[in-house]
Amino acid sequence: MPIVFSDPATAPSAAGIGDVELETKLVVYASGDRRALVTAGLALTLPTGSEDRRLGGTLVVEPFAALGFVVSDLLIVSDVGYVSVPRGIAA
């Protein structure tokens, strides 16, 4: 459950539940030694936060791809995505 604190200069401060994000991803490639992988996925942000209190309130759809690789014992991950806010919904 995301908790958001908003303190804009032009409005009163607010705190409460923010938007919830759901995400799924699929490994589309993994090297034989499992030291590199490519994934594709979809993130969906549900407007559970209060738009009036500036804690969220926007539906967002974000397809993405990620690349990860292992260096020694460190996993390094990079991703790229496209954010789409459906028409008629203010961001």
Pairing between strand 20-30 and 36-46? antiparallel
Q: Residue 67 pLDDT more than 90? A: yes
pTM of the model: 0.68
Average pLDDT of the chain to the nearest whole number: 86
Integer angstrom CA distances of residue 69 from 27, 40, 48, 72, 81: 13, 15, 34, 10, 18
**74 by DSSP, 3-state: which?**
strand
For residues 57 and 22, the model is more confident at 22
